[in-house]
Amino acid sequence: MQNAILKFEQLLNENASCFPEISSEILESRIPGKWSKKEILGHLTDSAIHNLVRFTEINYLQKPYHHRPYNQIDLVNLNQYQQMDIRELTQLWLSVNKQIIRIMKSVDEKALEYEIILSDGAVIDLKFLMTDYVEHLEHHINQIKS
């Protein structure tokens, strides 16, 4: 878990100041059927919000925890990330992720083994969900920076 946390902190530290430096033209350009780089950051914000809820709820809701998916496309559109100021969007993304890091650092070793049932019936644990979150974050950050 410690490696995932270190990687997570590094991703935030290296990229929080980078995103506002990208030109609006690059951030907002879209490939048909795809999100813009700004919308990808918005998707990462939505992901952070939902995962913060998951990472905290699992500690007090009945076990096993049932993972609830969310409509990623609708959320990006409804939150109007394409029109949002990049500094404001980056700050929102950063703030929620800093809270996730606090949760990850304080999670009990036993809690990392809590079972999570995905919507397709597959079973994972909290440790997998947390480390997968960091991998997801890295994947999309690389898309924004490319």
Compute the C-alpha angle 8/65/62, nearest 5°: 130
Does 126 have pLDDT greater than 90? yes
Is 132 contained in some domain? yes
- What's residue 63's pLDDT? 94
> Could you tell me the pTM of the whole model?
0.95
Q: How many domains does the chain have?
A: 1
28: in domain: no
Q: Is residue 25 part of a domain?
A: no
Residue 100: inside a domain = yes
- The CATH number assigned to the domain holding 131 equals 1.20.120.450
73 class by beta-carbon count within 10 Å (0-12 exposed, 13-18 middle, 19+ buried): exposed
Over residues 115-131, the mean pLDDT reads 97
| Structure confidence at residue 2 (pLDDT) | 94
Of 53, 66, 55, 65, the C-alpha closest to 107 is 55
Residue 15: give the domain boundaries.
2-20+33-145
- Percent of the chain whose pLDDT exceeds 70: 100
Q: Is residue 26 part of a domain?
A: no
Tens of pLDDT, residue by residue over 17-42, are 999 999 999 999 998 889 999 999 99
Q: Is pLDDT of 58 > 90?
A: yes
